Structure 1
Amino acid sequence: MDSLVSTDWLEAELGSGDLRVVDATWFMPGQGDAAADHERAHVPGAVFLDLEDVRDTSSALPMMLPAAEKFASRMQSLGLGDGSRIVLYDNSPYRTAARAWFMLKTFGAHDVAILDGGFAKWLAEDRSVESGKASVRHRHFTPWEDRGHVRDLSAMKANLDSGAEQMVDARSASRFSGEEPDPRAGTAAGHIPGSRNLPIARLFNPDGTYKSKDELRAAFEAAGVDVERPVVTTCGSGVTASVLAFALHLLGQKAALYDGSWSEWGAEADTPKATAA
């Protein structure tokens, strides 16, 4: 299974014994109810993955990775287990299937893909949907993790001096430049000094599908990023940074991700902040 699958491919594979379809839609508070939307309509057989339910709730930061055991427990309750082929989709402007992809890969799932174009494309093509909640059987998901591609605050501070990894910020240009204030109380505006800005909208076609590999590479290059060199992606809370990481994965590159992102960096008193593009 490729990392990016088409709606045609998924429709043909529905019903396969090892296939699990997962709705990973997530919205910012006040923007919608992803769980209710899922119950109204979803890809047949899909289960709903609540990204709020698989974060580290002991952290004051919004979307930090949980312990491996917690993640494995949540996956088991959704019927996702060792040997499953997992296809993720969303219907969110933040392309949150990529965050679910990043988490699953971090915690040991091997065969994970994203539905190109997401649920919006599925609906636009008048494909079948179901309502309610899917009936699932618990499966064993082995607790395992590899955080070698996850960066924390100390690593990002060290990177300011070493320049070992290019920093790419997925937020909007106005948030990156500091022209738009950060929506989180006590969080400064701006970006990590030396970062490049690549808003995720530049990675997609009008129908919501990912751009071709050549176009993705060109988007990174236009933002001043050499995709052949190490990259760490950032955003507001680690969600859209996952979209950049997935796009780099499509280009054959394994990016690191700063999980605390601007929610952490912008709230720290002793971190340098830059404004203007």
Structure 2
Amino acid sequence: MQTPFVTTDWLSAHLEDDNLVIVDASWHMPNLARDPRTEFREGHIPGAVFFDIDAISDTSTDLPHMLPTPEAFAQAVGALGISETSQILIYDETGLFSAPRAWWTFKIFGAQNVAMLEGGGPKWRSEQRPTQTGDQSPEPTIFTPSFTPEAVVDFDTVLARLTDKKAQILDARPAPRFNAEVPEPRAGLRSGHMPGAINVPVGTLSEAGQLRSETELKALFAERGIDLNRPIITTCGSGITAAVLSLALQRAGAKSVAIYDGSWTEWGGRPDAPIEP
């Protein structure tokens, strides 16, 4: 699985592979009132384990689902029966929403063979493929992490890049939020965007839960004046859809992409962060 995606046909043919670990990484916006773990128990792809994006995170901060330490990540996914050499296949129940965040997280911590299910749970279900209920009890294993620090940036780095222009800042939030036309879904955050940021709404990157083609994505980025040969930092509301944007940039051939993990939850909550309407 050296491609970011595999098809439902591929998964159907490989469901029983010994080294394959299927991972449900579903996560939903708080305002949707959906509980992904409950939904997992009610039905998931056979053999899948549930990856809790909120729980497998840095618990020392109030910011949501920030990257954990390599050691904490290794302990959590080892308990799910996942090693760095496992064949890891990630999906979510939206189609293409939170799975890229988990995909990026596994890769940043050294997983050697990780992909996503094209179309996710909705496509699998639409094809009347099998599901199972309840929790899984995987056999724990050892995940040996190797961290890639350049793939993630913090507040101070983004602030510096806004000044020195050494990287382009791309924001995956919907245009009404980027343009301060609607309030943020999280209480207490200011509205608007970082000065000089470019809006690339996550909804423009996929169709029916599947990422657009390389040609389509290249055209989309070109229309917005984005130089794929220059460094790029992606951001969003809380670091989830920034990973979808990073994935799309990778497909389009971007040379250097990092995610601002704190994203707007941190930026919009800090009085010292510069904001444009």
Confirm whether residue 270 of structure 1 aligns to residue 272 of structure 2.
yes
Cα deviation digits, residues 219-239 of structure 1 (max 9, x gap): 222233222221110001111
Q: 1:223 to 1:93 in 2, by over 3 A?
A: farther
Render the CA deviation track for 1:28-60: whole Å, top value 9, x for unaligned. 235211011111111111111111111111102
Match of 1:27 in 2: 28
Alignment partners' CA distance in 2, 1:176 and 1:244: 15
Q: Report sequence identity in percent.
A: 44
Which of 52, 55, 66 matches 1:53?
55
SS in 1 for 2:169: strand
Which residue is equivalent to 1:223? Answer: 224
**Residue 158 (structure 2) aligned to one of 149, 156, 169:** 156
Answer yes or no: is the 8 Å Cα contact 1:94–1:240 preserved in 2: no
Matched letter for residue 147 of structure 1: P
Q: What is the distance in 2 between the residues matched to 1:18 and 1:227?
A: 35
Q: Which runs of 5 or more residues in structure 2 are unaligned?
A: none
* 1:102 maps onto 2:78 in alignment: no
Cα distance between partner residues in 2 of 1:15 and 1:135: 16
Deviation at 1:214, TM superposition (A): 0.7
May I ask how many residue pairs the two structures share in their alignment?
274
Contact between 1:41 and 1:132, CA under 8 Å: does it hold in 2?
Answer: yes
Q: Quick check: 1:75–1:81 contact (8 Å CA) kept in 2?
A: yes
Measured in 2, the distance between the counterparts of 1:37 and 1:112 equals 23
Q: Deviations over 1:203-224 (max 9, x none)?
A: 112x211111111222222233
1:77-226 → structure 2 map (5 Å cutoff): 77-92=79-94, 95-205=97-207, 207-226=208-227
Q: Please give the TM-score of this superposition, normalised by the length of structure 2.
A: 0.95
In 2, Cα distance between the equivalents of 1:218 and 1:118?
25
Q: Which residue of 1 aligns with 2:262?
A: 260
Query: Take 1:22 and 1:64, find their aligned partners in 2: how far apart are those partners?
Result: 19
* TM-score of the pair, normalised by structure 1: 0.95
Give, in whole Å, the separation in 1 of the partners of 2:236 and 2:139. Answer: 35
- Could you list the runs of 5+ residues in structure 1 that have no partner in the other structure? none
Q: What is the Cα deviation at residue 93 of structure 1? A: 7.2
Write out the 4+ residue segments of structure 1 that deviate beyond 4 Å after TM superposition. Answer: none
